[in-house]
Structure formats: C-alpha cells, structure tokens
Amino acid sequence: MRFLTIIMFMGASILAGCDNGTVENPLPNNFAIIKALVSQSDVPLDPRTTLTVEQIEAVEVPILLIHAMDTTGIYILMDRVTTGRFTRWGELGGGEVIFDRNLPFRTHAFGADLLSVEASGTIAALTKREPATVTRMQTFLDSENQEVTIRFNCSVQSVGETSIHSLGRNIPTFLMREHCMSEDHDVTNSYWINRKGNMARQRVWINPRIGRLEFEFLSDQ
Amino acid sequence: MAPQLGFYGMPGILDMPTASALPDGEFATTLGHFNGNTRITLAFQMAPRLTGSFRYAAIADLDDTGLGGALFDRSFDLHWSVWDESGWRPALAIGLRDIVGTGVYSSEYIVVSKTFAERFRGTIGLGWGRLAGRGSFGNPIGRWAIRPDVDLGSGGTFAANQWFRGDMAVFGGLEYQATERLSLQVEYSPDLYVRERDGTFSLNSPFNFALTYRFNKTASVQAAYMYGNSLGVSLNLAFNPKRGPFGSGTERAPPAVVARPDRQNRPDLWTPVWADVAEFRAKIEADVAELLEKQDLTLVGFEISAQHVRVSFRNDRYRQTAQAIGRVARVLSARMPASVQTFEILPLADDVSTSVIKMDRSDIEHLEYAFDGTDGMRRAADISDAGQVDMPRPIAGAYPRFTWRLAPYNRVSLFDPSNPLIYDVGIQLSGTYRLAPGLSVYGAVRQKLTGNLNKSRLVRPYPQGAPPIVRSDSYEFNQFSDLTIERLTANYLFRPGENLYGRISVGLLERMYGGVSTELLWKVPGRRWALGVDVNHVKKRAYEQNLDLQDYEVTTGHLSAYFDLPKGYQFQVDAGRFLAADIGARFTVAREFRNGWRIGAFATLTNVGFEEFGEGSFDKGVILSVPLDWLRGKPTRRNVVRTLRPILRDGGARLNVRNRLYPLVRGRSDPKLTEGWGRFWQ
C-alpha cells in the first residue's frame, strides 16, 4: 500500500501493453501518468488534481482512488471483480476494498481492517435519494485481532445539487449526508451521486484507527 | 492529566511516587541521570491496577566488586493502584521499591494524588525505608516501630519483615499541566541518599524541580534541578502492545471465495465422475499446492473424493492459525470441483497434527459476505483433536524435503554485572531435513562477525557449597569467534494417543548441552490447562561448541502444568530436577496479548540454598517476547525473545530445548485457535 506500488502497477501495465502488437502502445500516456504521480515531495499527490480524463482513460482499466483523509495516503485500485452485489477492488500491493452496492463493506491491508458493514438502510435511502433514519453497524479488527462492533443510529439527509471537481472538470452531483452517532462516536458520511445515479464520490468513516476514507471511481463518471 | 513517569521509571513526579497508574498493558522505558545516578527502568502495567518494573542502575563511585568504578544494581518494583480518583476522592496507591534486589533502593510508600482545577495534580504520601530520611518520625503502630536490619546477603530475596516497618516520613509534590505538551513539577523528597553520599553524591535541598515536554503519546523528556545542586534529565518512551503501529496488519488480501454455479443450471459441473480419474485428482492436488504456496502455506497432505477433501498444511507465516485456515478454505473453494461438499483442514505443528477443522463448503460460500460471517463461520466449523485421525496421504515432494535459512543473529546480554550491554552479532545458517511425518533433522551453525560478549566475566567468586557449574560459565562459550554449532538434533514428534503429543530429540540440544530429550504433553482441546513431562539425559558441550562433550552429565526432567487464565494471563509450574541436579520448581507468570506480545516473570526455587546460590540468592528473571509482525505489519510467526536475569547462576537452571510441545501446540488448538478466529476472513 505504498506509492511505489502504484508506479509498479503502472509499469506492469506498460509491459503488458507492449506484448500485444495490435494495441496502440500506451507508453507515452502511461509515462505521463507515472511522471505526474512521482513527486519529489513526501506528500503524495492527488491524481485528481494532476491528471486528466484522457490520461485516466488511457490506462484502459477501471480506477478507484482512495484518499485516507485522516492518515494521509492516496491509494489507487485497479483490479475489479464483481460477485452478485459485492465488488472487490484490489491493488498490486495486496490492498483490497470490497463494496456492497457501492458502499465499503470490507478492507484488507489498511490495518485495523473493516470486517463487515451492515448498512442496508443507508443504501436504500441513497438509492431513493430520500431522508431516512437508519441503523448502521460496522465491525473491524483491533490490534489484538478482536472484533469490535460499533452500532450507529444515523440520520440520512438530502443536501442538494452540487458539483465536485475532479480530473480537471466539474461533475454535477446530488449530495447526501449521513450523520451517525454511537456511544463513543459522532461521525458524518457524505455521498455524491452523479446524474447517472452512480456513486461518484463518498467520504466514509471507517473506524477510529483509519478514520475517514474518501472513495472516488475515476473511470465511471 | 496523563500519568507521569519519574526518575525511577514508575508513576512519579521526579524521585517521589504518585498514585497514578499507566494505561493497562502499557510498557514504558525510562533512562534517567542526575548527579552520578543513572537508572534504566522497564515498567509494565501488568494489570489495570498493578505496575511492575525492572531497573538497572549505575551509581558512581560505589563499586562493591573490587573492580573499581560504579555500582551496578538491579532491582524490581511493584506499584498497586488501590483505587482511582473519583469525585472528591483522591487516587490511592501502595508501592514497594527494590523488593528482590540488593536493597539499595529498598523503600515502601502509601500515596494519594488528586487533580484539581483541571491542570494541577497534588500528591502527598508516607514513605518507609530510604524514603524515611529527612523529617522522619516514629511509626505509630507499636509493633512495627522498629525496622529490622536484614542481612540481604547476596541480595535477591524478599525482605518482607522490613516492609512498612520503622520510621516514616512525609513526601509530596505538585504537577502543573501548562500546555498540552508542557508540564512543570516540584516535589519535596525526604530521601537523604545516605549510601550514595559515600561516593560523590551531595545533597543541598529536599526540593526538586522539573520541566517535562511530551512529544507525543510515546515520547517525553524531563529536565530537572535535583537536590539543590545538580541538573538531571530523563527520557521516557512508552508504548502499548494493544496499539500496534500497523493495527491488525497490512498483509496481502486473501483470494476470493469462489461460489459454485447453481446445480440446477449447470448439473454438468456437479458430476462426480472426475473422482475416478487419477490424472484429474493429481492436477487438482498440484493446483492446490501452487495456490497455497502463493499464500505462503505449504501443502503437506492431500486426499480427495467425490464429496470430501482433506488437506494438511504447514503454516510458517500467519500468527493466527485461523487466518491460515481461512486462506486454505478460500483456495479449496476456488479449486475443488463442485461436487466436493466438505473440507477437512489439518494445521500441522512441525508436521504433527493438532486439530482437525471440518467445514461445509456451502457455509464458506454463504458466510463470506455476511455481516456476522466471522462468528457464523466459527459456529459452522467443527474443531476437534486430530490425535486419532488418519492423516491425509503426503503429497509428492513433501518427504524428504530440505529447507534452509540464512539470517543474521544477535545474542544480547543486558544488564550484565560488569557491563550493561554486551552482544554478539553474526550470521546463522540453519536447515531442516524432513524425512517423514514428524521425523526431521535440524541444524544451525553460527559465525560471529562482531561483538563484545567475550568480555563478559564472572565478577564474584563461587560461594562455598555452590552447586555444579552448569550455566555460570556461559562466558566461556562466548570466547570463541570461529564457526560454532548452535544445535544439531534429530527430532521425532508424534501423537501417541488422543490429546497426547510426544517428542524425542537427540543430539546437540542447545548451545551448552547435548544428549537425549523426551517429552510428553497432554492437552485437551478447549481446556485452559495442560500437563507435561520431560526427561532428559545430557552432557555439557565443549566450550568451542563443536561436536565434543565435557565430562559433566546429568539426568534432568520436570512435571509441568500450564494454565491459560482469562484475559491473557498464563501460569506455569515446572517441578523436578534441574541441570545442577538440584530439586525444585520454577514458577512463571506471564501476560500474553492476542497479537503475540508476551511479558512475564519467573522465579526458580530449589534445594540450593540462597547462600550457596550466590549473588541474587535464587534464579529469577523477566521474559519479553515481541512479535515481529506487530513491528513490521507483515505476517510472520517469528518473535524476538529476550530473558532478562539479574544474574545467571547455576541453581534452578533448565535445559533450553527447541520445540517444546506446549508452545508448539497451543496456538493450533482450542481455545487459542478460536481466540484468533477474528482473522478467519483476513
């Protein structure tokens, strides 16, 4: 789960592409992406501010971007497999996020990983774009391999039309917020749904250790 | 206000204690120095209300060995937090300093601390022993008025008849939390440093002052003005094994469970005719071996029929056996033909079966994405002893099989009486040749590259009537820099019956002894206790650590009882005959965190008298085991294990055999297996 991994994956993509003589060599575009991702700074760059739609499309695989908002990290996941209502996104370094109808259900390799989430009420409210009072349960592993379950009482509210800026363009979305309270935690999750009805971006509190993760499906806007 | 560590490395202001306690499980190291006094303390919050510490101190110009220089002293403290602060009630604590050392810091206290105005904490207490110096007054309890002189002899014994006896004095202090990171302390100390004043120490005032800067939750530094004439500094590093730097780990995600197609839609895929085709079965076996290899697991045995599959595997990677079992189940779900309905998975402990885990494939398919899938899978899995279960047939290439490892090693001796840190660093080449299930040959050779362990020496003579020299000449083994044989053994591990485990080892069993070692363990899955017995006949090895042996030989053995108490506490008794042919028992108490951290203490009492034992009076020490996966975030079963002894002598010395059965078996059978089940889907 390091920035180097992203570069390695990009490198692997280049090599894979070179093997196929019938496909236009994507080297120039990928090289530009790698160049944009490599920074002299220790602070990872957010590809949303440094890359364009064309460059992302040139990679020719779906891309999920994860921004760890409280622990400062940018991760790019490219390997996608769907089984029923669950979609697994993986990356070369072994990290993985599993979504249940576009909401994070399980994580791997983030530390204090999310084991499971029960958020059927939230999913229904987001699908209908209607306010709702729901319960939400999140289970994660602590450093002692013990399952910790947090039970939230949540209020899902419609905020309204808004735009998000990504890859050099403004994307019109409908914003919904979910305010959740448990005995020890008071958190707010945000969901930006695009005009196709797809989740364009979401900012979700995972657990006390990971904090908030922001997910953005870069290839499907 | 956060608890503060004083110069003694225990909850305190500077030299005086407070009634605070560290967070449960917290481990703190303190290095403090002022006016010729250097103290290194390792403190551990053993239980929510009990803090213990091991201290190594150097006091300038107080040498009592005749070697000149400083006095190096080792001591243990206990601090019991009777109750916490609540409302108007202050926190109350009782403590004992230097309970089994040479008595240099011997003192006791009762102390209360109270926070007020949010940023202030006041402390006042009564002290005995060296805390009853300036302004001391008589003990109001008549029968405790006299603090008896105790002949500490060689040190290392409890002087309980001194505790809270004799004169007492008041001490106290005030702490002010100026900012989130900066705090100020002032204290009044009745300690007159009587013994230290024989050296270079001088004392002008009972008041001490300090500034403490806390960098983060882990590190802080304290600068102090001590006893009216000297500056001091103290560095504190604290961490909690419960809070690993990598949380639950950052290992690669496991392969996905592959659900079978619906039987009604694809009946052709459910047909069992493949089971009659040997080539097909062989291909499946090879695929499973390859897929497990990608998970860093080794397939050892494999048997398949139309509806069942049985696999045994070796796991040298994942600390929690449940995680390895989960990954095996995922691999089987991906590769087994649809007609295979039940999985039997046998994790091996050095090629010996421990438990058999039976699970229904449908449960794996249905529960992977269930909210309570972890608990659901544990309820669905049937775990039982594998002692009488036929092992699956070994796969091609499982035996014979040679594995080797080249890795750096270090041998560290902390707090040696002559030097606080002596060490050797080098390269170790080790290898295991597995001949048949349970039967193997293990060898390890070492080449020292650098170090100063050869400078360790015996600083005090043997007392009259001392037992045979069995460990105290370990420094002789450190004199050789050539290639040495660390171990070379033939081992046979086996299951003689249900709930029984056996081991026979022959050869160079450890660095100092070679011979024959046998062991039998009785452990019932699910029970929190087990019994074991070991009998060994050994001869001392040549100091050169080649194949030669010395004349000393002994038959040693123990009856062992193991108890896994709630909340990770462990208790172990090993009673029997030790290496010096002395009879007695070793008592070990430890706390093990579920991520592999283990901190414990042991004491060995045998018929070697305290005088005959020599300095320290009896064998005792602290055990620290740090899991490398906690440090690195990547899965490994390796630990860094250190045993800290005040001094290594000959009484109560035990053979250090590799692959003792209880630690080998424990993690791979219940209740430990179930305790780690949270990682099944990881």
Mean pLDDT of all residues in B77-104 = 91
The pLDDT tens digits for B589-643 are 999 998 999 999 999 999 999 888 887 789 998 899 999 999 888 899 999 998 8
Please say whether the beta carbons of A149 and B285 come within 8 A. no
A83 in contact with B at a CB cutoff of 8 Å?
yes
DSSP E strands, B35-99: 37-47, 50-59, 71-83, 91-97
Q: By a Cβ cutoff of 8 Å, what residues of chain B touch chain A?
A: 241-244, 246-254, 256, 259, 320, 369-375, 593-595, 630, 633, 675-676, 678-679, 681-682
pLDDT winner (highest mean) among A59-68, A195-204, B476-485: A195-204
For B74, B81, B93, B167, B646, the CA distances from B49, given in Å and listed in that order, are: 24, 5, 9, 27, 25
Identity of the residue in B248, B250, B375 whose CB atom sits nearest the CB atom of A145: B248
Q: Does pLDDT of A39 surpass 50?
A: no
The pLDDT tens digits for B361-400 are 999 999 999 999 999 999 999 999 998 889 999 999 999 9
* Residues in chain A closer than 8 A to B682 (CB atoms): 108, 113, 141
Please say whether the beta carbons of B575 and B559 come within 8 A. yes
> Tokens at residue B150, please?
């105790």
Indicate the pLDDT class of residue A2, thresholds 50, 70 and 90: very low
Phi, psi of B572 (to 5 degrees): -140, 135
Closest CA to B535 of B556, B513, B509: B556
Please say whether the beta carbons of B564 and B557 come within 8 A. no
Rg (CA), chain B: 29
Q: Do B256 and A83 touch (CB under 8 A)?
A: yes
Question: What one-letter code names the amino acid at B456?
Answer: S
The pLDDT tens digits for B484-495 are 999 999 999 999
Per-residue DSSP letters for B480-546? --S-EEEEEEEEEEEEEETTEEEEEEEEE-SSSEEEEEEEEEEE-TT-SEEEEEEEEEEEEEPTT-S
Mean pLDDT of all residues in B91-114 = 91
The pLDDT tens digits for B235-294 are 999 989 988 888 888 889 999 999 999 999 999 889 999 999 999 999 999 999 999 999
CB pairs under 8 A between A and B: 96
To the nearest whole angstrom, how far is the Cα of A117 from the nearest Cα of chain B? 6
**Rounded distance, CA B682 to CA B677, Å?**
10
Identity of the residue in A105, A111, A143 whose CB atom sits nearest the CB atom of B595: A143
For B265, B267, B308, B344, B368, the CA distances from B360, given in Å and listed in that order, are: 21, 20, 10, 9, 13
Residues 6+ apart with CB under 8 A from B396: none
Q: Does pLDDT of B461 surpass 90?
A: no
A146 in contact with B at a CB cutoff of 8 Å?
yes
What average pLDDT is seen over chain A?
79
Query: What pTM did the predictor assign?
Result: 0.86
Closest CA to B326 of B300, B362, B357, B294: B357
Q: Answer yes or no: is the ipTM higher than 0.95.
A: no
For B83, B386, B478, the CA distances from B47, given in Å and listed in that order, are: 13, 36, 38
**Rounded distance, CA B517 to CA A153, Å?**
60
For A38, B77, B100, B103, the CA distances from B97, given in Å and listed in that order, are: 56, 4, 9, 9
> Tokens at residue B396, please?
């091609």
A70 in contact with B at a CB cutoff of 8 Å?
no
Please say whether the beta carbons of B631 and B249 come within 8 A. no
**Rounded distance, CA B67 to CA B416, Å?**
14
Q: Do B320 and A145 touch (CB under 8 A)?
A: yes
Closest CA to B519 of B654, B385, B659, B652: B659
Q: What is the DSSP letter of B376?
A: H
Please say whether the beta carbons of B246 and A111 come within 8 A. yes
> Tokens at residue B147, please?
């603090």
For A138, the closest chain B residue by CA position comes to B371
Per-residue DSSP letters for B162-217? GTT-S-BEEEEEEEEE-SSSEEEEEEE-----TTGGGTT-----SEEEEEEEE-SS
